[in-house]
Structure 1
Amino acid sequence: MNAPVPVQDLPFRSTSLGRSVRARLQFLKSGSKTYLADQHTPHPFHITRPFSISGDPEGMATLYLQSSAGGLYHDDDHHLSVEVEDRAFAHVTSQASTIIHNSHQSGSRVDVELKVGESSWLEFCPEPAILFPGARLKSTLTAHVHPKSRLLFCDAQLCHDPEGGRATFRELDNTISLSRSDGDVFYIDHALVSGGDWFGATDGHRCAGTFLVYDTDCAARISSALEGCIAGFDASNVYAGQTHLADRSVVVVRLLTSTGAHLTEAMQAIWSAIRVAVTGKVPMPRRK
């Protein structure tokens, strides 16, 4: 009887259908409302119509990103630009997690560029990337912020073996950077980890997430609120901590969880705590 061969070790014959895709979204404010002024969303990008949710900051538009593909495959190269112009408010999320499939000898790439104008507010909160066995992902998130803007975004990954074992992805190369509108880069976060090192680096946890907030007015208040939020987590399910970089008006939260459900619940709680710190109101959850 032949021994089974892990899928990530099977011979690979390149029939690359990798897509190099550039998508963009631009939000403007008219009167008291934010609207989607310009969009280019080629396959596999797809979006819903922007809508408002009761209890959100006045005029904030919520938009869901969707995909008409089954995830990211080898040689896929996707770039998304989100621009929120002066005084516009937008919440951008995704309908579901993105599966990163076996990348074989190549890899998948995702680049997200955020631009936040004066007195604008952007929340960019996609669902986690699910790293399948053999996946290789290079991910960059670059944000350009006006000194008088507010930015909140999350970035999360989940190591998953569909066969229920501990097979892992090949490599995750992840970079987050913040720069001011004059081009001055004031925050860089880079992580490079192989699948073989993942469980050692995360102390056995399958899921990892980052929340980052840039807010020159409320960073200290947000940091205090997040201390209380994190203290309320069940330590057996969620391991988390936060840092306030006062000189840069940045607050960063890191968290590790053993399941995707615990990751989703923790990320939702952190987002809600930030909203309460800024607006005094508990936000309505985004239905997925």
Structure 2
Amino acid sequence: MISLDSVRELAPYQDQPAQLPAGANGKVGVLRLGFARRGDRTILADLYRQSPLLVQRALYWDEEMPDLPCVMVLTTSGGVLQGDRLRMDVDVGPGARAHVVTQSATKIQEMDANYGTQIQSFTLADDAYVEFLPEPVIPFRRSRFVSHTRVRLPRSATMLYAEVLQPGRKYYGDGEIFAYDLFSSELRAERPDGRGLFVEKFVVTPGRFPVARLGVMERFHVFGNVVLLTDPERAARVHERTAADPVWDEETPLATAVSRLPNDAGLIFKVLGRETEPVRAAVRAFCVVAREEATGCTFPPAFSWR
């Protein structure tokens, strides 16, 4: 089993919480999801959960893809706490489809000792299709968090992976913009035989290397990252529809661009914005095109709380 405790950026944070030691009972969340094709739809055939991670059941709420099981990942602790060690394994069988989201924004709670980690593994079989579209991540003041995600899939499968990172509790008190200690995220993709496709990792330590500067975030606060892993033909169609020109919206402001991944792995889409909703809208627009080209179906209209 992969352990993140020895990664270099965590070296300064090896002290133990006063409340419960890191990885103690109640701080090791485990989630295992297995999806399988049954007739004309996909079912959640395997489910194991250990608090603080929780999944109750698969629902079929997507009117555009009524065969698509939609699974919401919940947490019983209100976010990621110091000393938490979280792991999620998702297995998607041949021809199966799955849509995985989170209940709300992932809150990385303020910390005075240690750190939180998250390991995610997605294994796709031939012709499988997965959307992993969690809500944004909000790192609170002094939080430390490291995430490692591995995706293993054949050429015929498609994985749509998105993440949106906020700068902190922007409107809390006097504001917490880039006040966290560490945010580290790594994504690896490979073929079933272990052949690597690409690795992307970013490590943000605002106290050591300020990010509100030219060439990093500058005046932007919110970062969106979408990875589409699919075969070259689908990727080419999505690229044609989304990459005519990088978008620079001075009024919003918003900046977006799409690039090809190495080894014919697919595409990567980046978004920078001042506020969360324009970034989420840009991420959704890209995901709509990706789903349409991969499945022939579109997304339902965005739900409005107004």
State the TM-score, normalized to the length of structure 1: 0.88
Amino acid at match of 2:275: T
Amino acid at match of 2:63: S
Tell me what 2:38 maps to. 30
Amino acid at match of 1:199: A
Amino acid at match of 2:225: T
Change (3 A) 1:30 1:181: same
Name whichever of 103-112 and 193-202 sits farther off: 193-202
> Following superposition of structure 1 onto structure 2, how do residues 247-286 of structure 1 map, counting pairs within 5 Å?
247-285=263-301
Name whichever of 72-81 and 272-281 sits farther off: 272-281
Tell me what 2:212 maps to. 199
Tell me what 1:8 maps to. none
Tell me what 1:224 maps to. 240
Tell me what 2:69 maps to. 61
Matches of 1:234 and 1:89 in 2, distance apart? 38
> Following superposition of structure 1 onto structure 2, how do residues 156-235 of structure 1 map, counting pairs within 5 Å?
156-161=164-169, 162-165=172-175, 166=177, 168-196=179-207, 197-200=210-213, 201-216=216-231, 217-227=233-243, 231=247
Deviation digits for residues 229-252 of structure 1 (CA, Å, limit 9, x no counterpart): 964967633211110136423100
Tell me what 2:95 maps to. 87
Task: Give the SS at the match of 2:282.
Answer: helix
Amino acid at match of 1:213: L
Cα shift at 1:228: 5.4
Amino acid at match of 1:185: G
Amino acid at match of 2:112: H
Name whichever of 278-287 and 91-100 sits farther off: 278-287
Amino acid at match of 1:25: L
Task: Give the SS at the match of 1:263.
Answer: helix
Matches of 2:268 and 2:297 in 1, distance apart? 21
Cα shift at 1:281: 4.0
Matches of 2:104 and 2:245 in 1, distance apart? 25
Matches of 1:235 and 1:222 in 2, distance apart? 26
- 5+ residue gaps in structure 2? 1-15
Cα shift at 1:104: 2.1
Matches of 2:119 and 2:69 in 1, distance apart? 23
Task: Give the SS at the match of 1:199.
Answer: coil
Name whichever of 86-95 and 236-245 sits farther off: 236-245
Matches of 1:122 and 1:231 in 2, distance apart? 27
Is the 8 Å Cα contact of residues 75 and 103 (structure 1) preserved in structure 2?
Answer: no
Equivalent residue for 1:78, pick from 82, 86, 98: 86
Cα shift at 1:69: 1.5
Matches of 2:245 and 2:198 in 1, distance apart? 24
> Following superposition of structure 1 onto structure 2, how do residues 101-140 of structure 1 map, counting pairs within 5 Å?
101-140=109-148
Name whichever of 189-198 and 114-123 sits farther off: 189-198
Is the 8 Å Cα contact of residues 45 and 66 (structure 1) preserved in structure 2?
Answer: yes
Amino acid at match of 1:163: G
Give the percent of matched residue pairs that are identical in Structure 1 and Structure 2.
18
Matches of 2:265 and 2:183 in 1, distance apart? 28
Task: Give the SS at the match of 2:36.
Answer: strand
- 5+ residue gaps in structure 1? 1-11
Is the 8 Å Cα contact of residues 172 and 195 (structure 1) preserved in structure 2?
Answer: no
Change (3 A) 1:146 1:204: same
Is the 8 Å Cα contact of residues 17 and 112 (structure 2) preserved in structure 1?
Answer: no
Matches of 1:189 and 1:281 in 2, distance apart? 29
Cα shift at 1:257: 1.3
Name whichever of 172-181 and 152-161 sits farther off: 152-161
Task: Give the SS at the match of 1:218.
Answer: helix
Matches of 1:150 and 1:237 in 2, distance apart? 31
Equivalent residue for 2:19, pick from 15, 20, 23: 15
Q: Do residues 237 (structure 1) and 253 (structure 2) align? A: yes
Task: Give the SS at the match of 2:141.
Answer: coil
The number of residue pairs the alignment matches comes to 276
